[in-house]
Amino acid sequence: MHLRALAFASLLSGLAAFPARADAPVAPLLSMQAAHKLATDALASVLQKLPAADRQKIVGAYVAFHADPRDPNVFAGCDDDGDYVIVMSDAMLVLADAFARAKATDEAHGTEKVAQYAAFLANGQRPGERLLAPPPGFFERSQATPELSELQSKHFRALVTHLLAAEAAHMLAGDLVCTAPTATHERGDDVWTGQEHATAFAAAAKVHDTRHVVVADARGTGIALAAGESESAMVSFLMPLMAAIELSTNARASFGYARLHPGALVRTEIVRTAALRQKGDKKP
C-alpha cells in the first residue's frame, strides 16, 4: 500500500478522542452573509486579473450561493438567462471556514488539526446529514487569538479564491458554453432557483470529467496566484482533507465536490507543479 494511503488508514481508525457529534459545534469565524460577500469579492479579484480577452469570454460571471448545509460543492454552470455562474453551496463555505481554522492552528501551534478534521469527517459524515463541524474540544480556547483569526481569514480567502479560479478555468477552456453572457447584472441573478440549480447540476458531470478537472486545476492555480493568493491552502485542502474524504464511502457520497472533482492526490501534484512553474517564470 502507498505510504500516504497507510497514513490515512491510520488516521481514519485512530480518532477516538473526537467522536462524530453534530451538537454544540465550534462557532465559525464568519457569518454566512460575510462568507458570501468574501466569495463574491474573491471572484471579482480573479476576473480582474484575467487578460481582457479572457474576461470578455465569461463577461458577467458571478457566484450563486446554494443554501444547502449538507453537501459541500462548487461547480461551474449557466443560469436561466444564459450567464456564466459558479455555484457554491453554503456547506462548502462552512467547510472552508473550519478547514481554515484548522490550518491556521497547525501553522501557529504545530498541531495536526487539518488531518484530524479530515479523519473526523471521513469517520462520521453521513449522506443527507448536515456537514459536521469540528466537535467541542477540538480547538483549544486559549489558542483563539486575534492573530490566529487573521491567519484563518487569510487561508479562507485563499482557498475560496482557488476553488473559484478553477471553475473559471473550466469556463475559459470551453468545458461549458453559456448562451447569452452579458455584463449587465439582472434582478434574477440575485436569486438562485431550485430549477436553475437542478439544470446546472445535471450538466456538471460532463463539465467536470477527470481530464477537464486536471487541466482546470493547472490553469486555475495560475489565475489564483495572479490574484495574489498562495497555493498553500488549496494543497492542504486537497491533501489530506479531500484525499481522506475520497477513501470513505459515506463521506464521499456526502460531498458533491469529491464526486465532481476526483483524484485528490493527483490534483495536489498538479497544483504544486503549476505553482512552481508560475513562480519560476517570474524569476528575473
Mean local confidence (pLDDT), 212-227? 96
Is the distance from CB of 86 to CB of 61 less than 8 angstroms? yes
Q: What backbone torsions phi and psi does residue 266 show, to the nearest 5 degrees? A: -65, -40
Q: Give the CA dihedral 22, 26, 29, 33, nearest 10 degrees.
A: 30
176/22 Cα distance (integer angstroms) = 37
**Confidence grade of residue 10 (pLDDT, cut at 50, 70, 90):** low
Give the pLDDT confidence of 137-147 residue by residue, as tens digits: 999 989 889 99
Query: Where in the sequence is the domain holding 100, given as residue range(s)?
Result: 3-281
For 4-8, 13-17, 50-54, 268-272, which range has the lowest pLDDT when averaged over its residues?
13-17
Confidence of residue 188 (pLDDT cuts 50, 70, 90): low
**Mean pLDDT, to the nearest integer, of 213-222?**
96
User: Which pLDDT score, from 0 to 100, does residue 102 have?
Assistant: 97
What is the model's pLDDT at position 21?
A: 39
Q: How confident is the model at residue 20 (pLDDT cuts 50, 70, 90)?
A: very low
pLDDT at 12 over 60: no
- Work out how many domains the chain is built from and give that number: 1
Whether 165 contacts 46, CB under 8 Å: yes
